Amino acid sequence: MPINRWKSDAIGITAYVFEESETTLRQSGLVPEWVGYPPECPGAGIAVPAHHSFPNYLKLLRLQSGRLRLVIDARAVLRGDTSYQRLLCNLLADTQLSLVKGEAV
């Protein structure tokens, strides 16, 4: 679960912030396998700007505790959340909902 949400008008994204162990982040699937993790020293970090093979911003920072802070584009997280995607699809498919039918609120 994210501990915070962050919005950057400068790079035009909303990002989620997670603080977890390196093992937990590796197992989560949020960080692509080809992304390196920062060294064990506190304050070390890496940033992966969005590009064609990974269209989402990502930053990892090693905390004093040894855990990692992950800041990642919210779109990358939501794409992997199949329960949320299913809920959204079901809501949009329900023609009885006023907002979907275009009725005035």
pLDDT tier at 4, thresholds 50, 70, 90: confident
> Which is more confident, 38 or 97?
38
Per the prediction, the chain carries an average pLDDT of 79
For 23-66, write each residue's pLDDT tens digit. 998 888 888 888 889 999 999 999 888 776 677 788 999 999 99
At 19, phi and psi to the nearest 5? Answer: -130, 110
Q: What is the pLDDT of residue 51?
A: 73
Q: Is the dihedral of CA 49, 33, 43, 58 positive or negative?
A: positive
> Which is more confident, 104 or 18?
18
